Structure 1
Amino acid sequence: MSTAERALVAWIPDWPIHAYLQDQTDAEGADTVAEPVAATTPSAPAIALIAGHRVIACSAAARAEGVRIGLREREAQMRCPDLILRPHIPEVDERRFAPVIAAIEQLIPGVESRRPGVCAMRARGPARFYGGEEPAAAALLELARTLGLPELRVGIADGLFTAEQAARTTGTAPATHSPRFGVQIVAPGGSAAFLSPLPVGRAAPGDFAEVLQGLGIRTLGALAALPESAVRERFGAAGVATHRRATASGPVHGIELRPRPPVREFAVDLTFEPPLDSADQLAFACVTLAERFIAGLAEERLVCTALRIELTDDIGVRHEREWAHPHRFTANDTVGRIRWQASALPQTGERGGAGVTQIRITPTHTDRAAAHEPGLWSTEPEERVHHHLSRAQTRLGHAAVGTMQLTGGRRLTDRQRLVPWGTTRVRTRESRSSRSSAAGPWPGALTGAIPSRVFPEPFPAELRDARGTLIGVDAEDLLTAPPAQLQVARTRFPQPVQDWSHPWPLRERWWEGAPERIRLQLQLAGGDAWLLSYEHGAWFAEGRYD
């Protein structure tokens, strides 16, 4: 008699293919699919997912052409010339399987995700609730159909390994009965008889399975017939684990099935009736919501460093924005972001609605609270500065108080960006372009010392030689004469020019009509130094070295 507890395993064949097809459908812009194509049906295209130049998963159409898991990429293409090869991305499998697990947990609590496409749970609770193991399996199949997974299969047996093998079995097998398509139930105590004719590779890793087959042990029944002490002496711990799976024995210590803890939903929302049109009204109404949002994270010892705010108006238009914080969000910070986002909405007459009817706050990035605790020494000055600047920002507006951020660019004015206080710029796909990289490379950019003063708008300047003639730049990007006098705006400096650099050209974005610029550094006899640029036949002062 098996000592393993009854387990129920749900298995979705070819889950990586199913996840890939679903991901491709969403990428093409389809929100919902009324009749999804199952990866196990012949109507699905011949697709194979590749990793390490070997087939990891393939669709039913590909298997019909002879493609099998483990084949090399070239051999799979030879067997099926129309085969579509795509790289296998494990993250897609896990991400697409997470909603399935959440839906199953709503039906049957205590689910353990074995791997993407396979989950397990104890059979005793569902059987008592639904009045038997067969009705419990039928409820799971019905849920799968509503999720667009008609190919899901259920196996129930003594022990996780036996239940998973039952889910993978089609047709008749010893000590089993199939009350409906997609369900295989192994009778209590019949696990050993069910596993006996299965190949030994079902329970043993690849290399170990080859060793056992070389010794003439080709089925699980043959392996189960050996004494466990002899297997331990010959093959060690790996052999004992395989032997216990073959004999359908339960774990020696502990429990075999470990359900995952319930996933807590940290997102909060609030509905308004009548709609709110004023940003101040909306912020005041969301004070309690923001406190509940932060308190929910604090209960799990988490802090929020990035969140998404969704505002939905009465005509169904959703205004969404993601906010990031350099430290962590507090309730006041969250309310401030709500006020700023509501202030940026179009006016009521422009958007055609009466106001906001629903708000939803979702954390997009959380961190452990212990990582954001103050250090050993006091950080009171920093907190005081943040407090006063945040209050000023609340009164003056989101973009009224900010800090400078160094970005990429060749001109000094292009490298400055004002970031609102308490906000971290969220990098999007567009912001990952070369222009956002401060590291460069930026050919033609200023290297070495940077002017201490950079003018927002360059001042007109004049550069003259010793005879008072204006100096220009010739066709070879050289000065037409040695510089001697400098005038910036209406100020003519009495000190003569002492040293100057070689001029260097700055040619960029010519396809957008950007002018060609020549840059020059020079130093006066009094110690002042300037950065000049020459464009359209005139000099301009970009910055000054103090």
Structure 2
Amino acid sequence: MSGDAVRLLVLWCPDWPVVAAGAAAGTPPLAPAAVFSANRIVTCSAAARRSGVGRGMRRRDAQSRCPELVVHQHDPDRDARLFEPVAAAVEAHAVGVEVVRPGIVAVPVAGAAGYFGGEEALAELLITEVEARAGVECQVGIADGLFAATLAARRATFVSPGGTPGFLAPLSVAELDQPGENRGELVGLLQRLGLRTLGAFAALTEREVAGRFPRDAITAHRLARGLSHRPPVRRALPPDLAITETFEHPLERVDEAAFVAKTLGERFFGGLARHGLACTRLAITAVTEAGEERVRVWRCAEPLTARAAADRVRWQCEGWLTVRDGDRPSAGIVRLTLDPEEVVGGQALQLQLGSMGRDADAAERAGRALVRIQGLLGPESVVTPLLDGGRGPGERVRLVPWGEPRCPVTEDQPWPGRLPAPSPTSVPRCPPSAVVLDAVGDVVHCTERGELSYPPATVAVNGGPPCRVLSAAGPWLVRAVPPDRGAPPLVRIQVVLEGANSDVALLLRANVALDLQWTLEGGYH
């Protein structure tokens, strides 16, 4: 065994968000499909990947490569609810089943493998059972530690005990950026430094990692070495960490469970925070009015926040209450218990500014109001800006619906030709036209070599009156990357105009092939 990592079997359902969305919508399972969040692909099917569609791609680009692409919206509740039959199928033959996230379950190998005659026999049994009971394809991997076992499952590989460091060493450091862990910035930094494999990163000492890299690199370094996410807590735990809620009226509807989940999540998180702890493995136990008991364990790569704990309670209750009749409890839920099976020091959970006290109450009220607006007008009605990759100022700002993950998708790319700082203070959504004239009243145009016909003298924006140009900078050519055949470059200039109250600077753009058509790309005020 590698260090303190426990030997685990991981069962992985490939492209689970796509599988769940297709099952809910009734689309053909082999059709090319993709799940989108904020107009970018979260997950796509194998058929879509064969057509050149990939994670992080915009919807328009994906559909241009695969016109028959089936589009689904990202819905974590749906993914978790439909994954319950898979977890139940595994639980029928193994104890200690832990849901890592919808699409992945982990099982300790030691006891179950000995009972069924070895690790290979256990893996074959679970694959057969999941395909028979849940009707989905899956793969199994076994290794020391959750991270290595997950990568082994993606490769359908069994890593021998103690062989995890050797298995991980040749793999790309990009494997550290698993869904939901947001290590893209760290991975990009490691690649730029020439540390392109997990083995190269693992060869660094802990002192070097702690002194040269961000805080989250410590956990990533442990994973690259084949260890667990973080050392276990050695001190005795307080006995009152688990919380139980009893209901006078049994929970039978999903909306009732969602309301209860929020309250329980906050109580659970608050109780741990008072002891300076955070939870990384949460057991949810439900007892029905008929005396039935259901238990599910959720394992989390990062410590649970109050919202994350509430999400898992809601997902699990939805899964229990909406599965097919044969697996559904015969009565409503009368008692729920949340028990932290694994905790870490509270310093592992970095609370954001404003997450406690009066600011937290105000933020919570504002969040509820925004969700209410979304419920009335739709998810796209409330958006927040996110700075992302791109060459022009309009391309760099992406609007993310409220509640969606705010993760840059393409910020780490080089973007040759990107507009340097400072950025415009205002960027029009629909760039208005502009007329740029020289001193004698002729339209200023630009050659493919980046030369203006004459210096600009006046600029009129969107049909308005012409304003005198006090000073100008540029032009700058921006060529297509990669260079498309026949794609002309763009040209940009900056001009300072004489205004009524103050001078105003504008960023203007034109297509060299259409050099008479200038547009306003941004303004500096």
TM-score normalized by the length of structure 1: 0.43
TM-score normalized by the length of structure 2: 0.45
| Rg larger for | 1
Q: Which has the higher contact order (CA 8 A, sep 6+)?
A: 2
